[in-house]
Structure 1
Amino acid sequence: MEALQITWFILWALLWAVYFVLDGFDLGIGSLLPFMADNEEERRIMYNAAGPFWDGNEVWLISAGGVTFAAFPKVYAVMFSALYAPLLALLFALIFRAVSFEFRNKVDSPAWRGLWDLVHFISNLVPCLLLGVAFANLFMGIPVDAQGVYHGNLVALLNPYGLAGGIFFLCIFCLHGSLWLAIKSTGALKQRAIAASCLFWPIVLILLVAFLVLTAFYTNLLDNYLSAPALLLLPIVALVGLLGARLMLSKGKLWLAWGCSALFIIGVTFFGVMGMFPGMIISSMDPAATLTAFNASSSEKTLKIMLTVALIMVPIVLLYQIWVYKLFSHELTAEHLEDDHAY
């Protein structure tokens, strides 16, 4: 039973990491929209750089939430209760993001398009910040009692460490998104995307160091790394990914740079989640009220059935998404915008 619980804890972390990697570049591109595009054609290029992927990428968010519900129902109940306000804001932001993709070109009016560009920008910016705030608070611990009742409010989540997490996530996704935009665009927009990547890289590096210092001060995540030095491989992987992104960017190997950025995101995610282990909802009020992978999981039979389904279905989904990414791997030009399916 314990092996199953550990397996599902790792899968839970992996699903969040995959979501951050895939939807992260969509969110990053949307957050950069007002600052990168100089004209209508470039704005449409930015929309279509995420266009074939954004809805499929959100499947991983649903999967992460579904796994939390099925494998760790107590964690799901407390998480979606304690973090109700930010998660509801996240949900509405993602809804409006979807609407902005579909509605922007329904009316041939600059004012109409400008309105939905603003909606698109906000509905991408807000999830970047909220995801960082939410996970930083989970790393630090939230005030929940033994009954799972949250003794706090939205303002309490906006503490220095939570805000640092929000800014960190935003900059990570902007770096990730600018690399993807550099891959998908041409001409002046491509050069601006590369310049944005070069700008965000040192910012992310500085924020990484600052976040690690704050993590040592506000959380107990480093305890696991001191007791199990093998886990230090995770932050090393993250650092290698970040350094590799800059190296590949300097060599003009944009796909490899984006891949290294993805490795960095995976390393950062696992660094935080494995630092919590076995905790999943850490109580800052009473350590005994902390929900862990061992005291909050479903039954052994449920975990076995789910594992069987996951081993069958997840590879199928991955193969489908690999095919989609390969199919739409080409650079976007003005000719592609003439397609009836273009945004």
Structure 2
Amino acid sequence: MDLAYLWFFIVGFLFVGYFVLDGFDFGVGMSLPFLGKNDVSRRQIINTIGPVWDLNETWIIVAGACLFAAFPEWYATLFSGFYLALLLILLALILRGVSFEYRHQNDSLRWKRNFDRMIVIGSAVPAFLWGVAVANIVQGVPIDQEMEFTGSFLTLLNPYGLLGGLTTLLLFFTHGVYFVALKTDGQVHTDARALARRSGLLTIVVAAVFLVWTVVNAMAAGAPAIGLVIAMAAIAAVLLVASFIANVRDREGWAFGFGAGTIVTAVLALWFALFPNVMPSSTDPAYNMTIENSSSTDYTLTIMSWAALIFLPLVLAYQGWTYWVFRKRVTRGAIEKAELAEAH
């Protein structure tokens, strides 16, 4: 069973990576109506994530595959019970990806505006629904003794779940705006810093309420790792405030780094609140899905562990190299020069 516990945290690590990396992609997409004053500025914003958005998105594919292999019972209950929510997320991600690829295929302003709207929708829907889904997983959903979800999509739209969705929406939005400020120059950079100040304050208030509610729920449920839940929630709160202060002081690198740390520690707080369950049952605690009763065989987990040991460092190294190659700012001058070349 030691390997099952190990894989519970490996899956958690993959979700942390996904929320940090695709989280700022969502934020960049949602920022278009606020920062994209003209087509040049919109191209500048989109190009900040142009080389990396699809790489960031693969983290959720790997997380889903590992969940399927390591915890088949968890995967089956989660994907059947949350089917509509996950389908909406998938459709939104497809919409966003298509928009990135097709936006520049026509010079018509109307054409570009329509794809810009789809980028915003394709970013906001997953940012909100991922928070709803994770909050419900941690809080617990109706599950019977056969490990089957007995609720509906509306079951997920409870106050705690909706607050979780609003928290991730705002957190990813602010995280993305920090990234825009870090990667751009000129008016977009200035506007991004100002926007982050406004969204950062709202994010601090909403996230604080959600984290406190999470801690209270974990204490009421007698979570074994309650000390770690409180510690991670407190660190997340400190880092969120630190990111806001860094942005005010025009330290966009620190602001983005602290924002990323906020997401990491917030997700860890939720993961420790969930432990040792994988999906608590609100019907009867006896029906809780746990790490032990939802995991694959020890033989399967052993093979997976060797594969992870070999390939995970390679994936991380490749991702780090990609970010290093595309580390420079996306300047307005470069966009205008490219437009001039296209015109000729």
Name the TM tier (shorter chain). Answer: over 0.9
* Alignment partner, residue 34 of structure 1: 33
Does 1:264 pair with 2:274? no
* Alignment partner, residue 195 of structure 1: 194
Task: After superposing the two structures, state which structure 1 stretch, 329-338 or 142-151, moved more.
Answer: 329-338
| 8 Å Cα contact 2:130-2:165 kept in structure 1 | yes
Give the residue type in structure 2 aligned to 1:135: V
Give aligned-pair identity as a percent: 37
Find the aligned partners of 1:287 and 1:223 in 2 and give their Cα distance: 10
TM-score between both structures, scaled by the size of structure 1: 0.94
Structure 2 matches for 1:19-168, cutoff 5 A? 19-168=18-167
Change (3 A) 1:227 1:298: closer
| 8 Å Cα contact 1:15-1:64 kept in structure 2 | yes
1:133-182, Cα deviation, whole Å (9 max, x unpaired): 11111111111212222222112211111111111000000110000000
Give the residue type in structure 2 aligned to 1:77: A
Structure 2 matches for 1:5-20, cutoff 5 A? 5-20=4-19
Give the residue type in structure 1 aligned to 2:255: A
Give the residue type in structure 2 aligned to 1:303: L
Task: After superposing the two structures, state which structure 1 stretch, 229-238 or 145-154, moved more.
Answer: 229-238
Task: After superposing the two structures, state which structure 1 stretch, 280-289 or 89-98, moved more.
Answer: 280-289
TM-score between both structures, scaled by the size of structure 2: 0.93
| 8 Å Cα contact 2:225-2:272 kept in structure 1 | no
| 8 Å Cα contact 1:221-1:276 kept in structure 2 | no
Find the aligned partners of 1:285 and 1:222 in 2 and give their Cα distance: 16
Give the residue type in structure 2 aligned to 1:8: W
* Alignment partner, residue 330 of structure 2: 332
| 8 Å Cα contact 2:28-2:177 kept in structure 1 | yes
Structure 1 residue 28: Cα displacement: 0.6
Structure 2 matches for 1:199-218, cutoff 5 A? 199-215=198-214
Give the residue type in structure 2 aligned to 1:199: R
Give the residue type in structure 1 aligned to 2:298: E
Find the aligned partners of 2:329 and 2:267 in 1 and give their Cα distance: 30
Q: Secondary structure of 1:220's match?
A: helix
Find the aligned partners of 1:17 and 1:27 in 2 and give their Cα distance: 15
Give the residue type in structure 1 aligned to 2:22: D
Q: Secondary structure of 2:51's match?
A: coil
Find the aligned partners of 2:152 and 2:303 in 1 and give their Cα distance: 37
Aligned pairs, number: 339
Does 1:305 pair with 2:265? no
Structure 1 residue 237: Cα displacement: 2.5
Q: Which consecutive aligned stretches of 4+ in structure 1 deviate over 4 angstroms post-superposition?
A: 221-228
1:40-97, Cα deviation, whole Å (9 max, x unpaired): 0001111111111110001111111111101101000000000000000100110111
Give the residue type in structure 2 aligned to 1:172: L
Where does the alignment leave 5 or more consecutive residues of structure 1 unmatched? none
Give the residue type in structure 1 aligned to 2:73: K
* Alignment partner, residue 285 of structure 1: 283
Give the residue type in structure 2 aligned to 1:250: V
| 8 Å Cα contact 1:222-1:275 kept in structure 2 | no
| 8 Å Cα contact 1:143-1:150 kept in structure 2 | yes
Change (3 A) 1:95 1:230: closer
Q: Secondary structure of 1:280's match?
A: strand
Structure 2 matches for 1:161-176, cutoff 5 A? 161-176=160-175
Change (3 A) 1:339 1:75: farther
Change (3 A) 1:209 1:226: farther
Give the residue type in structure 1 aligned to 2:286: A
Find the aligned partners of 1:334 and 1:161 in 2 and give their Cα distance: 42
Find the aligned partners of 2:137 and 2:130 in 1 and give their Cα distance: 11
Structure 1 residue 285: Cα displacement: 0.9
| 8 Å Cα contact 1:33-1:46 kept in structure 2 | yes
Structure 1 residue 252: Cα displacement: 2.3
Structure 1 residue 225: Cα displacement: 6.0
